Amino acid sequence: MSLEYTLGEFLVFGLFTFGGIGFCVWKRRQERLSRFIDLTIDGIVLSSNGVIVEVNQQAVTTFGSFSKYQLLGKNVLDFVAPISKELVKEKLAMSRVDRYECTLLKSNGTPFPALIRGTNISHKKHLRLSAIVDLSELKKTTQALEALNQTLAQKVEEHIAKNRQQEMVLFQQARHAQMGEMISMIAHQWRQPLNVLSLMCQNIVFKYKMNMLDDTLMNTFKQDSMKQIIQMSKTIDDFRNFFKPDRTKKVFDVKKQLLYVSEMLKDVYATYHIELIIKVDDGLKLESFPNEFNQCIINLLNNAKDVLVNTSIKNEKFIVISAFKNEEGKVVIIVEDSGDGIDESVLPHLFEPYFSTKESGVGTGLGLYMTKMIIEAHMQGSIRISNAQSGARFEIIL
Ligand SMILES: Nc1ncnc2c1ncn2[C@@H]1O[C@H](COP(=O)(O)OP(=O)(O)OP(=O)(O)O)[C@@H](O)[C@H]1O
Ligand SMILES: [Mg+2]
C-alpha cells in the first residue's frame, strides 16, 4: 500500500486529529470546572444579558428546583422578591458588587433571605457571575439565639430580683430576731427596777394603812420611784440607739465601743458567771458603722454566752475580745470563748442562713449569716472561724 498522501488529505487528517484532541481537552476542562463549581457552598449563577445560562448544583438546591433546566433561560429578576427588585437592579448595573442582603424567590415563589456577590466576567456577552447564599437557616438560628438570649437575660434578672428579695426577707428576719434580742435585754434590765418599784408600792400602801404617810415620805417615794422610772426609760433609749442602723461612716474608738457593748451586757453575763475580758490597744480607731459593728460583736458574744451557759466545763467561763492593728494597717478583732468549741463537721456551714445547732425556738441560725453580710458587704472586711485552745475563735479583719 502506497504511503504517499496528497496535501489535501494530509490537512484533513491533521484537522481531525488535532481538532479532536483540542475538543477533548476543552471538554475535560469544562467538566473539571463544573465539578469545581458544584463543590462550592455558594449557589453559582451565570447570566448573559440578565438571562440565566448556567447554574451549579447548589443554586438548584437554593432555589428549590428539581433540575437546573427549571432555571436556565429565565430572567434573574424572576427570582427576586418585589421588595428587593429595585436594589437588585441597581446592583446588577454595577460591574462588581460586594456582598449584599436581599430577598429572593424560590422556584415555587416562596421568599427567602439571601446574600449575593456578583461580578461581570465578559463585557461582550454581558456575562455575569453571581454567588448566592441562602440565609434562611442562619436567620432562623440568629433569631432563636436572640430569643434565647432574651429569655436568658430575663431569667438572670428574675433570679437576681428573687435573690435580692430573699436577702431582704432574711435581713428582715434577722432584724426581727435582733428586736427580740433587744426586748429580752430590756426585759432583763427592767427586772431589777420593776422589783424595786413593786416593793416601794407595797411599802407605801402599808404606810398608808398604818397612818404613817407624811409629806417627807411621799416626797421620798416620788423621788425614788422617778429614779427607777428614768433608769428604765434610759434603758429603752440605750438599746434603741444601740440597734439603730447607721447611714454614714464614722471614726470611732474601738476600745470605747467595745466597752460600751460590754456595759450593756455585763449584767446578763454576770448572771451566768461569765467574765468578759477586753484587751484592746488604746487609741485604736476605725472608720466604719459603729452600730453595725455593735450588732456583729453582740452576735458573736451571744453565741459565746449560749455555749458557755450550757457548757460542761466547771472551770472559768470567759470571753476575751482583743483588738489590734496588723502589719497591713488593718484592724483585727478576735472574739474567743472558753466553751466547747465548734464541731469540725459543722464548721463549713456556720455562715449559711438558718444553720443552727440550737433547739428550734432558741436559735434562728441567722446571727452569723447576718454578721458575715454586714462585715463583708457593708464594712468591706472579712470574718474567719476556727477552734482555738480554749474554745471557738472568731477573727474579724476590717
Ligand atoms: N462560740 C461558738 N461556739 C460554738 N458554736 C458556735 C459558736 N458560735 C456559733 N456557733 C455555732 O454556729 C451556729 C450558728 O450560729 P448563728 O449565730 O448563726 O445562729 P444561732 O446562734 O444558732 O441562732 P441565732 O443567732 O439566729 O439566734 C450555732 O447554732 C452554733 O452551733
Ligand atoms: Mg447566734
389 in any annotated domain: yes
Whether residues 117 and 263 fall in one domain: no
Distance 276 CA to ligand 2 centre (A): 17
Distance 329 CA to ligand 1 centre (A): 30
pLDDT digits (tens, 9 = 90+) for 295-329: 889 889 989 998 998 876 566 899 999 999 999 99
169 in any annotated domain: no
CATH number at 72 reads: 3.30.450.20
The predicted model gives 134-151 an average pLDDT of 92
Q: What percent of the chain has pLDDT over 90?
A: 52
In angstroms, rounded to a whole number, what is the distance separating the alpha carbons of residues 150 and 59? Answer: 35
pLDDT at 370: 81
Pairing status of strand 318-325 against strand 275-280: parallel
Whether residues 109 and 253 fall in one domain: no
pLDDT digits (tens, 9 = 90+) for 92-117: 999 888 899 999 999 999 999 999 99
At 30, which amino acid appears?
Q
Whether residues 117 and 251 fall in one domain: no
CATH number at 273 reads: 3.30.565.10
Output the CA–CA distances (angstroms, integers) from residue 327 to 41, 306, 324, 333, 397, in the order listed: 67, 34, 10, 14, 12
State phi, psi for 259 to the nearest 5 degrees. -65, -35
The answer to whether 293 and 338 have CB atoms below 8 angstroms apart is no
Which of 134, 166, 200 corresponds to the end of one domain? 134
Whether residues 125 and 267 fall in one domain: no
pTM given for the model: 0.53
pLDDT at 7: 46
In 10 A of CB 43, how many CB atoms?
Answer: 24
Which residue has its alpha carbon closest to ligand 1 atom 1?
Answer: 304
pLDDT at residue 184 tops 80: no
pLDDT at 379: 86
- Which ligand is located closest to the Cα atom of residue 319? 1
Lining residues, ligand 1, CB within 6 Å: 177, 299, 303-304, 307, 337, 339, 342, 350, 355-358, 363-369, 392
At 212, which amino acid appears?
M
**Whose CA is closest to 46, among 128, 131, 120, 134?**
128
Which of 88, 107, 134 corresponds to the end of one domain? 134
279 in any annotated domain: yes
Pairing status of strand 285-288 against strand 331-337: unpaired
Pairing status of strand 318-325 against strand 331-337: antiparallel
The predicted model gives 243-258 an average pLDDT of 84
Domain count, the chain: 2
In angstroms, rounded to a whole number, what is the distance separating the alpha carbons of residues 178 and 239? Answer: 11
98 in any annotated domain: yes
Among 297, 305, 350, which residue has the most ligand 1 atoms within 8 Å of its CB, making it the best to mutate? 350
Whether residues 255 and 129 fall in one domain: no
Among 297, 356, 357, which residue has the most ligand 1 atoms within 8 Å of its CB, making it the best to mutate? 356
373 in any annotated domain: yes
Whether residues 251 and 130 fall in one domain: no
Which residue has its alpha carbon closest to ligand 1 atom 10?
Answer: 303
Which of 70, 100, 134 corresponds to the end of one domain? 134
The predicted model gives 30-53 an average pLDDT of 81
201 in any annotated domain: no
23 in any annotated domain: no
358 in any annotated domain: yes
The answer to whether 304 and 317 have CB atoms below 8 angstroms apart is no
What is the span of the domain harbouring residue 71? 40-134
Whether residues 250 and 129 fall in one domain: no
pLDDT at 19: 54
* 36 vs 389, residue with greater confidence: 389
Range of weakest confidence among 20-34, 117-131, 305-319, 339-353: 20-34
